[in-house]
Amino acid sequence: MTVCEYKPGLEGIPAAQSSISYVDGQKGILEYRGIRIEELATKSTFLETAYLLIWGELPTKEELADFKAEIRYHRRIKYRIRDMMKCFPETGHPMDALQASAAALGLFYSKRALDNPAYIREAVVRLLAKIPTMVAAFQMMRKGNDPVRPNDDMDYATNFLYMLNEREPDPLAAQIFDVCLTLHAEHTINASTFSAMVTASTLTDPYAVVASAVGTLAGPLHGGANEEVIEMLEEIGSVENVRPYLDNCLQNKSKIMGFGHRVYKVKDPRAIILQNLAEQLFEKFGHDKYYDIAVEMERAVEEKLGHRGIYPNVDYYSGLVYRKLGIPTDLFTPVFAIARVAGWLAHWKEQLGENRIFRPTQIYTGSHEAPYVEIEQR
């Protein structure tokens, strides 16, 4: 075996072979199963895209109708899960609530049959169906209200916004939210997907796979950045303050949230679409002054850091879209998770086809033959 050079963060090291998605970071291209993200964002829906990612092909009309019906049927969560969630502190972060709730599903659906396609399908359907219900339920319960029951007459995106606000959303808002889900559904081996794959490689259950990925997505260097972007824009406060704020960040070598990417060295194609969605929402529902700050910040960062390939990533404009949809800031990352469940499950299913447990090596930097010093002599 050839010994490879150590790469912090495994930069550039292939850890799997996959046919699920493709990113060209120099050209700003993202494809799911070979189809460009721009095309899926305008022509597909989240559930159709999820089917494509997981089963590798666009569904026929009948296949899509069956898939949607199954998901609709499984949207409800057991009262024991609701009761468990009622005991979560309302001050807790919704990503922690989601991680615990996703893991709890494994208690109820514990039969594991990883070589049975019916089991795989059931797990996919349950996770796609129940994760949005759990995110919305925590939101209602932390305000002291009962969760809103899923509405069987509503599609996936409409139903989520309905469960969150207890009223039917505007059709444009629901349609834009559905596009957001499509954009966030998959992105090759990012940190949370890798976490899902490592967990999956032990042949544990899919609920543990998703729970571990949720925990990984939560961090501010990954999915958690969308929440921090809004906090940053609020802290900047005005367009005039953008450049002094940026200079201060650069002086202190602090990271500018929503910028930079391991793979993209140009503007993330999802950020381009999300910016456009934000503008559509402002046109219909009124402007957001934080958008002007965001645009000025993008301009200023490009001037100072563009030559180093630091541009807006997916998390930069998504928060501005979610704000306009009435989604609270600390739900931005759980909303990302709702979408990314599709990608995590696609990788889970792909990996089961040719599994080998992940077990990399390390470069040991400690000592050898060290003496054991008795406690009295330490």
Indicate whether 9 belongs to the interface with ligand SDX (CB under 6 A).
yes
CB of 238 to ligand SDX, least distance (A): 21
User: What DSSP designation does 6 have?
Assistant: P
Q: How far is the CB of 197 from ligand SDX (least distance, A)?
A: 13
115 is catalytic: no
Residue type, 296: E
The angle formed by the CA atoms of residues 134, 178 and 162, to the nearest 5 degrees, is 50
- Of 72 and 270, CB closest to ligand SDX: 270
The residue from 315, 330, 347, 368 that is catalytic is 315
Binding pattern to ligand SDX, positions 144-183, x when CB under 6 A? ----------------------------------------
Out of 94, 260, 269, 334, the residue judged to bind ligand SDX by CB under 6 A? 260
Residue 108: count of CB within 10 angstroms of its CB: 13
190 binds ligand SDX (CB under 6 A): yes
Out of 243, 262, 265, 304, the only residue in the binding site for ligand SDX (CB under 6 A) is 262
Residue 248 per-residue DSSP state: H
- Give the interface segment with ligand SDX, choosing from 96-104, 126-134, 203-211, 311-319 (CB under 6 A): 311-319
Cα–Cα distance measured from residue 260 to residue 312, given in angstroms and rounded to the nearest whole number: 6
Is there binding between residue 243 and ligand SDX (CB under 6 A)?
no
For Cα atoms 150, 153, 157, give the angle at the middle one, nearest 5 degrees. Answer: 65
Using CB under 6 A, pick the residue from 32, 259, 322, 348 that binds ligand SDX: 259
* Gap between the Cα atoms of 266 and 307, Å rounded: 10
Rounded to whole angstroms, how far apart are CA atoms 208 and 106?
Answer: 7
In the complex, least distance from residue 190 CB atom to ligand SDX, rounded to whole angstroms: 3
Position among 99, 101, 159, 313 found at the interface with ligand SDX (CB under 6 A): 313
Binding residue for ligand SDX, selected from 256, 271, 277, 297, defined by CB under 6 A: 256
Comparison of 178 and 268: residue with beta carbon closer to ligand SDX? 268
The tokens 């949809």 sit on which residue?
A: 325
Nearer to ligand SDX, 222 or 243 (CB): 222
Find the binder of ligand SDX among 85, 100, 134, 225 (CB under 6 A). 225
Instruction: Tell me which stretch binds ligand SDX (CB under 6 A): 83-91, 167-175, 312-320, 321-329.
Output: 312-320
Q: Active-site residue 261, yes or no?
A: yes
Q: Which stretch binds ligand SDX (CB under 6 A): 32-40, 43-51, 216-224, 347-355?
A: 216-224
Give the distance from CA 62 to its chain's centroid: 28
The residue from 178, 261, 268, 347 that is catalytic is: 261
* C-alpha angle 341-343-345 in degrees, rounded to nearest 5: 65
Angle ∠(228,46,117) on CA atoms, nearest 5: 115
Q: Whole-number minimum distance, CB 323 to ligand SDX, in Å?
A: 17
284-311 as b/e, with b when 16 or more CB fall inside 10 Å?
Answer: eeeebebbebbebbbebbeeebeeeebb
Output 147 or 258, the one with its CB closest to ligand SDX: 258
Verify binding: residue 218, ligand SDX, rule CB under 6 A: no
> What is the residue-wise DSSP string for 159-225?
HHHHHHHSSPPPHHHHHHHHHHHHHHS--SS-HHHHHHHHHHTTT--HHHHHHHHHHHHTSTTTTTH
Nearest-CB residue for ligand SDX: 260
CA R_g for the chain: 22
Q: Which of 21, 160, 121, 81 is nearest to 352 (CA)?
A: 121
Residues annotated catalytic, as ranges: 261, 315
Residues lying near ligand SDX in the complex (CB under 6 A): 9, 187, 190, 221-223, 225, 255-262, 308, 310, 313-315
